[in-house]
């Protein structure tokens, strides 16, 4: 009973596959349930038959062996045909869902390229200038095709409430699709051990109404970088001189590094450090001071910045947000 009750409450967990929020996750959960009930039926029949045999045919002091069933055509047919039927039932749902989930159908499909890195995610939207990191924005009610590959080792993309996991393999392209039925933030992570920072390779899927998604696209396509304070302007100069710009891109500026995550509109993101920490000035400062102390295995180097430089850089990074258009939803 303790083992059974240990699973209670997991349905409401943020990464519970038992609480699907889209058609892909829902179909996969239904397949799991249908397969489970077939296996429960098999267990009940086999365990029941075993119990009857143990009770009815147990040894009662007989000196002779009981009648033997070896070579019974009837029994041989029974335990050949019944498993075949059960496997056929399992195959029907599995094959059907495999074709349905292989690739999205229809014309209104949003395509996003996903690249796994140690230990962060890069998302780019073909046909636009939009590139973001660790945070995937999608419109509610629209199929999203994810084109998956890796920049280094094998990773696995997994957002349990929106769909099952799919591998990202270096030199190979895999495809999956997801769809969110309702707005919200859906947590996911790498599900394939990929090194020291594997457990902290997290991601967020921000499912937005079509109007809010269009607004986000507009902000990302035309970012505005206007540090207004003297401290933020000093931070921008440090960004260029302290090697930050050689690794990171910021839309709307001349900084176009591609080694690390894209920082366009960073201040509008709820999380930092691969969705490990809330996006606050204090956490930004801790990250800049010693990335490996915050996220073991992180490939961002410790630049040994002074407290004054960290303060200026934080002010600049906090200014990276594009004002919403007047009258936006």
Across the 329 residues of the chain, what is the mean pLDDT of every consecutive 10-residue run? 68 81 93 91 92 86 77 85 89 87 83 95 95 96 96 96 95 95 95 92 95 94 89 94 92 91 93 92 95 90 94 94 65
Given the candidates 3.40.190.10, 2.60.40.420, 3.20.20.10, 3.40.630.40, the CATH classification of the domain at 230-318 is 2.60.40.420
Instruction: Tell me whether domains 109-219 and 230-318 share a fold.
Output: yes
Q: Work out the widest C-alpha separation in the chain, in whole angstroms.
A: 101
CATH tag for 109-219 (out of 3.30.450.20, 2.30.42.10, 3.40.50.300, 2.60.40.420): 2.60.40.420
Question: What are 276's two structure tokens?
Answer: 């490990």
Rg (CA), the chain: 27
Q: pTM for this structure?
A: 0.84
What pLDDT, on a 0 to 100 scale, did the predictor assign at position 325? 61
Task: Give the pLDDT score at 193.
Answer: 95
> Distance between CA atoms of 111 and 136, rounded to whole angstroms?
12
Domain boundaries, the chain: 18-44+76-102, 109-219, 230-318
Position 327 scores a pLDDT of: 52
DSSP 89-118: HHHHHHHHHHHHHHS--SS-EEEEEEEEET
Comparing CA positions, the residue from 160, 196, 164, 171 lying closest to residue 115 is: 171
The answer to whether the Cα torsion of 48, 50, 53, 54 is positive or negative is negative
């Amino acid at each position: 009973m303790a083992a059974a009750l240990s699973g209670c409450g997991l349905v409401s967990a943020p990464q519970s596959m038992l609480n699907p929020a889209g058609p892909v996750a829902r179909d996969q959960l239904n397949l799991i349930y249908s397969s489970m009930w077939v296996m429960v039926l098999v267990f009940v029949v086999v365990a029941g038959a075993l119990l009857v045999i143990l009770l009815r045919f147990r040894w009662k002091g007989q000196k002779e062996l009981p009648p033997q069933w070896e070579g019974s055509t009837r029994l041989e047919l029974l335990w050949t045909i019944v498993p075949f039927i059960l496997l056929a039932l399992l195959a029907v749902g599995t094959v059907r869902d495999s074709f349905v989930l292989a690739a999205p159908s229809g014309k209104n499909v949003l395509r996003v390229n996903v690249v796994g890195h140690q230990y962060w995610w890069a998302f780019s939207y073909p046909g636009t200038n939009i590139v973001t990191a660790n945070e995937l924005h999608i419109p509610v009610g629209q199929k999203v095709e994810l084109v998956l590959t890796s920049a280094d080792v094998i990773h696995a993309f997994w957002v349990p409430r929106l769909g099952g996991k799919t591998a990202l393999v270096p030199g190979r392209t895999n495809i999956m699709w997801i769809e969110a039925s309702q707005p919200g933030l859906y947590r996911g992570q790498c599900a394939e051990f990929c090194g020291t920072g594997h457990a902290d390779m997290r991601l967020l899927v921000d499912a937005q109404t079509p109007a809010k998604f269009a607004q986000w696209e507009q902000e990302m396509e035309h970012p505005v970088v206007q540090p207004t304070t003297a401290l933020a302007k000093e931070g921008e100069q440090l960004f260029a001189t302290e090697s930050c710009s050689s690794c990171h891109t910021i839309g709307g500026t001349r900084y176009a590094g591609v080694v690390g995550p894209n920082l366009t509109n960073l201040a509008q993101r709820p999380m930092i450090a691969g969705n490990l920490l809330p996006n606050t000035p204090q956490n930004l400062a801790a990250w800049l001071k010693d990335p490996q102390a915050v996220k073991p295995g992180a490939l961002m180097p410790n630049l040994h910045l002074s407290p004054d430089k960290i303060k200026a850089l934080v002010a600049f990074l906090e200014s990276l947000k594009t004002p919403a258009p007047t009258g936006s939803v």
